[in-house]
Amino acid sequence: MIIAIISDIHANIEALEQVIDDIQKQEVDKIICLGDIVGYGPNPNECIEKLKNLGCLCLAGNHDWAALGMLDTSTFNRVAKHAIDWTKEQLTPNNLGFLQGLPLTQVEEGCLFVHATPQNPEKWGYIIAIGHARQAFQEFHEKVCFVGHTHYPFVLQQKNEEIYNVTKAEVEFEEDCRYLINVGSVGQPRDKNPDASYGIIDTEKNTFRFRRIPYPIQAVKEKIIQAGLDMILGTRLEKGT
Ligand code: ZN
């Protein structure tokens, strides 16, 4: 089975459309979205509807929960909080209902899929240091766990309790290893590469690869300004930060 894994769309329909176009050329069997469909960007309803129409299997992210009022946003920075308040006003009742039905985790083809961390996914912890990764490896039992949340792509391999960063263009899964993979962000990449990021796993060939897709950032930037969202949300897209 070939599965495309997308995450952190953040209401960026321009990025999502380019990514979906690319996915459709890769002959995938399934698309899984790891959450944060909304928040930050100017097209929350359009992004939800696009994923709904594709029959994409979606999980919940912290921004989706925040838009539903299911998460205390006092820990959000001012810009993120303002974007969530704006998003709440935009979402249609149907699309709010869609977000409400999203699960926190999913197991498919022997892989675990989750937005933030395999342990207590509803606490939305961050995997940003090796200690977080070590803890995460203890909390799942599948061969591969896919996450998003930090908008920073990586492939970590665990072999005999040691953890390695794998930087190959195509990762071939080794027999006695387990993997923790962050697919990066479609709608707000933060690894200094502004192109939308997503990943493809082939469960027969036992491989994983990243795809980076350019999209018209300027158009999103203009929409952000028109919507009255903070300008920094547009400029950071150009820098990929
Ligand atoms: Zn996010």
What SS3 string covers 79-130? HHHHHHHHHHHHCCHHHHHHHHCCCCEEEECCEEEECCCCCCHHHCCCCCCH
CA distances to 1, 2, 57, 81, 213 from 53, rounded to whole Å, are 21, 20, 11, 28, 21
Distance from the CA of 176 to the center of ligand 1, in angstroms?
31
Ligand 1 center to 151 CA (angstroms): 6
How confident is the model over 168-182, as a mean pLDDT? 96
In angstroms, the CA 66 to CA 115 distance is: 14
What is the percent of the chain with per-residue pLDDT over 90, rounded to a whole number? 98
Q: 133 CA distance to ligand 1 centroid (A)?
A: 18
Average the pLDDT over 18-32 and give the result: 97
Query: What value does the mean pLDDT take over residues 37-43?
Result: 98
CA–centroid distance, 38 to ligand 1, in Å, is 8
State the average pLDDT over residues 29-57.
Answer: 98
Q: How far is residue 198's CA from residue 157's CA, in Å, rounded to a whole number?
A: 18
Pairwise CA distance, residues 16 & 38, whole Å:
12
Residue 36 in this model has a pLDDT that exceeds 90: yes
Three-state DSSP class for residue 135? helix
- Give the model's pLDDT for residue 145: 98
User: How many angstroms does the Cα of residue 187 sit away from the middle of ligand 1?
Assistant: 9
pLDDT number for residue 237: 98
How far apart are the CA of 160 and the centre of ligand 1, in A? 31
Q: Is the pTM of this model over 0.85?
A: yes
What DSSP designation does 176 have? T
Distances (CA, A) of 42 to 9, 15, 29, 61, 203: 11, 12, 29, 17, 35
How would residue 75 be classed by pLDDT, with cut points 50, 70 and 90?
Answer: confident
User: Does 66 score more than 90 pLDDT?
Assistant: yes
| C-alpha 40 – ligand 1 centre gap (Å) | 9
> How much distance in Å is there from the Cα of 11 to the middle of ligand 1?
10
Alpha carbon of 9 to ligand 1 centroid (Å) = 7
Q: How far is the CA of 93 from the centre of ligand 1 (A)?
A: 22
| Residue 146 Cα to ligand 1 middle (Å) | 14
Contact 207, 170 (CB under 8 A): yes
Across all residues in the chain, what is the average pLDDT?
97
Q: What is the Å distance from ligand 1's center to 150 Cα? A: 6
Q: Is 90 exceeded by the pLDDT of residue 71? A: yes
> What separation in Å is there between the alpha carbon of 35 and the centre of ligand 1?
8
**Mean per-residue pLDDT for 23-33?**
97
Residue 101's contacts (CB-CB under 8 Å, 6 or more residues apart) are none
CA of 175 to the centre of ligand 1 (A): 32
Task: Give yes or no for residue 187 having a pLDDT over 90.
Answer: yes
pLDDT at 207 over 90: yes
For residue 146, pLDDT beyond 90: yes
Tell me the mean pLDDT in the region 45-61: 98
Could you tell me if 157 and 164 are in contact, meaning their C-beta atoms sit under 8 angstroms apart?
Answer: yes
Q: State the distance from the centre of ligand 1 to the C-alpha of 63, rounded, in angstroms.
A: 7
Longest dimension (CA), the chain: 53
pLDDT value at 217 more than 90? yes
Find out whether 154 and 182 touch, Cβ atoms under 8 Å: yes
For the segment 17-34, the average pLDDT, to the nearest whole number, is: 97
Distance of CA 236 from the midpoint of ligand 1 (Å): 14
